[in-house]
Structure 1
């Protein structure tokens, strides 16, 4: 098994390699990660909604020692990542993080939210700071409103098609 410090560096290099082959390869990889993550979170979302998401990310916060605040109410859940351990480890590497490293989170979370009828607003804030804010809404109008305040709004495979009404 690869230790987490090495895993993040490995992940970073895989992302770089796939991107060198073309954006489509990288996005297909993120979609595969999303399909894998469904085993861990899909039932929680379908049965418990925002509380299920809170339950899932609470475990991640503790297991990965994230500096993460979770806020949940009847209309949305917010994840305030104050210091992302993944990007921090990727930055602490002589090979440098892939420029779009943070896109992998939206790349796996976004498709799951689309599948379950929720709307992700993922603000990476900056590609060089290990912090971000994700907001997930049931109401698409509230998500669109939240997008207006995002500094670096992230996308994911299928999002463009979803926004313009075409099929992904």
Structure 2
């Protein structure tokens, strides 16, 4: 097993110095699932707060740009692309968030934060109808670029 890069020899957390890494195109996609009852799914188009899926999309995009403010050891990145899709599927809303950059470090955290905040926004927009809403399976789906190479999540 590799050692965790955010810890020094004394076990203290620190930000990794990526200044020596080559800037390459890096992209990551993360997903989340918001489990909703049939009643809440049926009510989505009539939400008095607006379209929850569109608000969630914008919230996810904004969140990706704030990742380094939320996660202490993340580097601020100039994102070249962020996209969030929120799709109604059987049993809830499927979220997919993609972030891309050309940098010396990856964008997995930006994609994960975007998916998480989009899912939380769906919750916020629908919680008046059901307090039992569950957010599940916030996961990295795929990534490309960087020293560790490509990754595609295998379905479990």
**TM-score scaled by length of structure 1:** 0.30
Instruction: Considering fraction of residues, name the structure with more strand.
Output: 2
Give the structure, 1 or 2, with the largest relative contact order (CA under 8 Å, sep 6 or more). Answer: 2
TM-score calculated relative to the size of structure 2: 0.31
Bigger share in helix? 1
